[in-house]
Structure 1
Amino acid sequence: MSSCITLLCALLLLLGLSVEASSGEGGTTSHSSDLSGPELRRIYNSPVFMAERLKRPLDGLSVRIGPISHSGVRVTLADGSQWLVHKGEDYGVSSDTVVVDARHMSSAWQVFQTCNFHGTKTVADLVAAGGTDYSFFFDNCLMATQRMMTQ
């Protein structure tokens, strides 16, 4: 059953992921040319070696106020490339959990948890753990990143 869900998430992600990332002072900027077709599939199926759970101020705020922040997981792959997996309302076309190149991240992101997966998890596993639908009260970015780090 979980392999069917993972496959479904992969297909949804490949069919039309709108890539967005935090840039500048915490705003979001579309970078839809970052990933497509075979490259997206390669990243999605890549083993994750290091995962860092991060927080940054919400859009429009200059500081984090306790739990009032945006959260994501920056993953490092075998080739050393880094990608941000994060969730937000309307971040993607098929899923609210998206994968973006970490070079688009602003300096406002701060690490608060690390985990060495030693290649036992893939980017697809983290995306699936993030879930497809955002809900402020029941399935937000903080809940999604917690699942990504503990699944």
Structure 2
Amino acid sequence: MTSEDAVTRWLSADEQQAWRAYLRGSRELEVALERDLADQGVSLPEYELISMLSEAPEGRQRMSALAAFIVQSRSRVTHTAARLEKRGLVRRIPAPDDGRGVVLCLTDAGFALVGQLARIHVESVRRHLIDPLTAEQFRALGEAMQTIRRANAAVGAEETAAR
């Protein structure tokens, strides 16, 4: 046994099985949700972005805040916004409080599309995630993911502070 093996906490057989089930299940879920939106010509990241904008005051949000909220890089949000802007669903404007920031605004066409897509997306979430689980399993999943979010937020804050 090497010294690296002595400090590495390898996954047990049960942990490995659960980890691989999570990886495959989460990827299959994302593919299914993506497929159901693709029929409408929208990707899951595009829907997530316009959906979050539709819930923001006046359908507006700073792009940096939006990137943090949907857990995507600023660069990816910029590319997604550019695609949506070309389709007339959003527009970018300078942030009123600082010249460097950019605010993303949902257009009337964007609001209308979110309204159409919301039913499709909710039905997809129910069919592919909620309905296969018992209420207890779904509640436990939500609690587990909140625990993971809190733990990762704490690690991220520690890493940022260390820089």
Question: TM-score, length-normalised on structure 1?
Answer: 0.27
Greater fraction of residues in strand: 1
- Higher RCO (C-alpha under 8 Å, 6+ residues apart): 1
Greater fraction of residues in helix: 2
- Structure with higher Rg: it is 2
